């Protein structure tokens, strides 16, 4: 039960239930859909960048508490970051949610650290990373919808 | 089955036959509620496969030595067992495949290539598993034919009036699921076959979710094809069955070319073998087939009537217990159901439900259950699903209900 508490922390349940930055962004210059065909999680990322800086980001979608909370927290963290930072943060975040040995040194991730519990649940990694795969693809202006498969 | 034997059917004794179910998961006794995905295997099946590899392994239909003859005899005895199990007329109407999926693909290719042309129509339903959608879509693309879809009602039943309206002179085949892997609905297959037969249209029934729960008689049903997998029937993975009426199997071209399906090969021309061998190219999954034979023996020993009665009582109990949980919605409320319950909860997404149940040692499925169009039909992104088998007991449902209340506590 303790691992479960670690996964479903208050902050995750809160963001899962009432995601922040949820909705369309009319000023977006990158829009991307992501899909996890295995479980049916769907997400659309609306991203606005100016001179290589993320000036605004919102999302819409449906999915489990982990996927919604992860997207919600991601949008909060990314505002004001550079496009290069997004890539670096994703790599770091990926380690956070997959590597159970690497428990320390995640301070740079800020509140994203709350998702560390996912590492104990390999089946749920895709839920936590769908929004990240989608935003990275959005930045590449790739036409294909993103799939976690 | 005699009265004495019927009395021997006790849930605990049945559960004791399944070694896998004796373990703990996350330090709690395992409750396995995902038999719709694959059933667990009784010791009798494990022993049969083990004995085959330990003592009887040789290639079938090839050797003239004792061992090969023994393997061939065991393999063909399994065919006889399958024939008896579904009451087919002939042994050669039973073709071994890799599973339900391959059996449907075989028909889509062999029957489809021969009998389906541009402008023709194939009827399936909105409650099909992807394995009974995609092979027909691929056939339609190859041939310029069209797929027609029987609608599903809010209760999760086939709309039979709509079905009738889809039948016309262009219809070449009707292919529907016998029992739904998502809703549990047992479809009125007798009525479906009768309606199709009135227009001389052949019918394929996908029995993957049906054969372990209810008796099947292909002659009484008068269906043209019936398909199922061993692994959902307490047997090994990688083995399935295609039953086809003799007249179709004689007319259809082979599916794959290779060994065993030939009578004579020269570089100019190959003469094909007769059914069933014509459709069984290459060395078959011998251990799988023998394991399937043992699984059928096991089911016969328990008695399908006993199994159906046990599962039906458990389904009623589970349904009424789940209905008591506020915010829980059951999807699929047909009167005739196998032991499958799909549901959603207002407070939690199916994946979150499944993760929390897993931490309580309870295995359920969450997602679209390989039936995306059906899940979409009910306007939900995914469902949680429990599926029952002969080894489940009332206590399993009680554990489930306690765990679902934990989900509510965590999320509400």
The domain ranges of chain A are 2-142
Handedness of CA B25, B29, B31, B37 (dihedral sign): positive
Query: pLDDT, tens digit, for every residue of A40-96?
Result: 789 999 999 999 999 999 999 999 999 999 999 999 999 999 999 999 999 999 999
- Write out chain A residues lying below 8 Å of B359, CB-based: 1, 3-4
Give pLDDT, residue B360: 97
**How far does the CA of residue A9 sit from the closest CA of chain B (Å)?**
10
Q: What is the ipTM of this complex?
A: 0.88
- Write out chain A residues lying below 8 Å of B365, CB-based: none
| pLDDT score of A131 more than 50 | yes
- Domain B3-32+303-407 in CATH 3.90.1150.10? The answer is yes
- Short-list B1, B11, B35, CA closest to B310: B11
Domain at A2-142: CATH architecture: Alpha-Beta Complex (3.90)
Report the residue of chain A nearest B358, measured CA to CA. A4
Q: Give the span between the Cα atoms of A16 and B349, in whole angstroms.
A: 10
* Interface mutation target, options B26, B355, B379, chain A, most CBs of A under 10 Å: B355
Q: Give the span between the Cα atoms of B189 and B168, in whole angstroms.
A: 19
Give pLDDT, residue B111: 98
| pTM: predicted TM-score of the whole model, two decimal places | 0.93
Q: Return residues 29-58 of A near B (CB < 8 Å).
A: 38-42
Phi, psi of B325 (to 5 degrees): -85, 120
Distance set, CA B411 to CA A41, A73, A134 (Å): 19, 18, 27
Give pLDDT, residue B1: 47
Give pLDDT, residue B167: 98
Query: Is position B370 annotated as part of the catalytic site?
Result: yes
Contact A87, A136 (CB under 8 A): yes
DSSP string of A36-51? ETTTTEEEEEEEEEET
Give pLDDT, residue B340: 98
Report the residue of chain A nearest B370, measured CA to CA. A38
Phi, psi of B122 (to 5 degrees): -125, 130
Contact B32, B40 (CB under 8 A): yes
- Write out chain B residues lying below 8 Å of A8, CB-based: 352, 356, 410
Residues 6+ apart with CB under 8 A from A26: none
- Write out chain A residues lying below 8 Å of B350, CB-based: 39, 64
- Short-list B360, B362, B366, CA closest to B342: B366
Topology of the domain covering B46-300: 3.40.640
Residue ranges per domain, chain B?
3-32+303-407, 46-300
Question: Tens-of-pLDDT digits for all 412 residues of chain B?
Answer: 455 555 568 888 999 999 999 999 999 999 999 999 999 999 999 999 999 999 999 999 888 899 999 999 999 999 999 999 999 999 999 999 999 999 999 999 999 999 999 999 999 999 999 999 999 999 999 999 999 999 999 999 999 999 999 999 999 999 999 999 999 999 999 999 999 999 999 999 999 999 999 999 999 999 999 999 999 999 999 999 999 999 999 999 999 999 889 899 999 999 999 999 999 999 999 999 999 999 999 999 999 999 999 999 999 999 999 999 999 999 999 999 999 999 999 999 999 999 999 999 999 999 988 999 999 999 998 999 999 999 999 999 999 999 999 999 999 8
CB contact under 8 A, B382 and A4: no
């Amino acid at each position: 039960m303790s691992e479960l508490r670690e996964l479903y922390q208050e902050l995750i349940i809160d963001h899962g239930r009432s995601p922040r930055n949820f909705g369309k962004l009319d000023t977006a210059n990158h829009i991307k859909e992501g899909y996890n065909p295995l479980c049916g999680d769907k997400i659309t990322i609306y991203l606005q960048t100016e001179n290589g800086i993320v000036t605004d980001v919102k999302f819409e979608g449906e999915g489990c508490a982990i996927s919604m909370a992860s997207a919600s927290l991601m949008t909060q963290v990314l505002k004001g970051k550079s496009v290069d930072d997004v890539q670096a943060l994703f790599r770091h975040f990926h380690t956070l949610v997959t590597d159970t040995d690497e428990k320390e040194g995640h301070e740079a991730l800020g509140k994203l650290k709350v998702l560390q519990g996912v590492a104990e649940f390999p089946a749920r990694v895709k839920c936590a990373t769908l929004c990240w795969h989608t935003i990275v693809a959005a930045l590449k202006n790739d036409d294909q919808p993103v799939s976690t498969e | 089955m005699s009265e004495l034997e019927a009395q021997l059917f006790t849930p605990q004794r049945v559960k004791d036959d399944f070694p896998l179910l004796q373990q703990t998961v996350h330090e709690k006794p395992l409750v396995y509620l995902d038999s719709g995905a694959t059933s667990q295997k009784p010791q009798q099946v494990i022993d049969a496969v083990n004995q085959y590899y330990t003592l009887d392994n040789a290639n079938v239909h090839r050797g003239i030595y004792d061992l090969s003859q023994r393997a061939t005899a065991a393999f063909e005895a399994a065919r006889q067992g399958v024939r008896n199990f579904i009451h087919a007329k002939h042994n050669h109407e039973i073709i071994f495949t890799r599973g339900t999926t391959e059996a449907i693909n075989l028909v889509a290719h062999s029957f489809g290539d021969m009998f389906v042309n541009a402008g023709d129509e194939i009827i399936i339903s909105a409650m099909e598993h992807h394995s009974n959608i995609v092979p027909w879509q691929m056939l339609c693309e190859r041939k310029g034919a069209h797929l027609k879809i029987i609608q599903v009602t809010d209760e999760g039943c086939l709309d039979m009036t709509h079905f009738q309206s889809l039948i016309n002179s262009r219809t070449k085949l009707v292919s529907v699921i016998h029992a739904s892997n998502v809703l549990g609905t047992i479809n009125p297959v007798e009525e479906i076959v009768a309606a199709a037969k009135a227009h001389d249209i052949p019918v394929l029934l996908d029995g993957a979710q049906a054969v372990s729960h209810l008796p099947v008689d292909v002659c009484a049903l008068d269906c043209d094809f019936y398909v199922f997998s061993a692994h959902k029937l307490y047997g090994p993975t990688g083995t399935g069955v295609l039953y086809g009426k003799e007249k179709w199997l004689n007319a259809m071209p082979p599916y794959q070319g290779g060994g065993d399906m030939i009578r004579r090969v020269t570089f100019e021309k190959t003469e094909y073998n007769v059914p069933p061998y014509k459709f069984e190219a290459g060395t078959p999954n011998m251990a799988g087939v023998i394991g399937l034979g043992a699984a059928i023996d096991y089911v016969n020993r328990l008695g399908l009537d006993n199994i159906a009665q046990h599962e039906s009582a458990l389904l009623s109990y589970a349904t009424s217990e789940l209905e008591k949980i506020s915010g829980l919605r059951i999807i699929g409320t047909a009167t005739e159901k196998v032991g499958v319950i799909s549901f959603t909860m207002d407070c939690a997404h199916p994946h979150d439900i499944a993760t929390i149940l897993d931490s309580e040692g309870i295995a359920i499925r969450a997602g679209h259950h390989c039936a995306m169009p059906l899940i979409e039909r009910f306007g939900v992104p995914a469902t949680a699903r429990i599926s029952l088998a002969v080894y489940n007991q009332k206590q399993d449902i009680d554990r489930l209900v306690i765990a679902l209340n934990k989900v509510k506590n965590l999320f509400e």
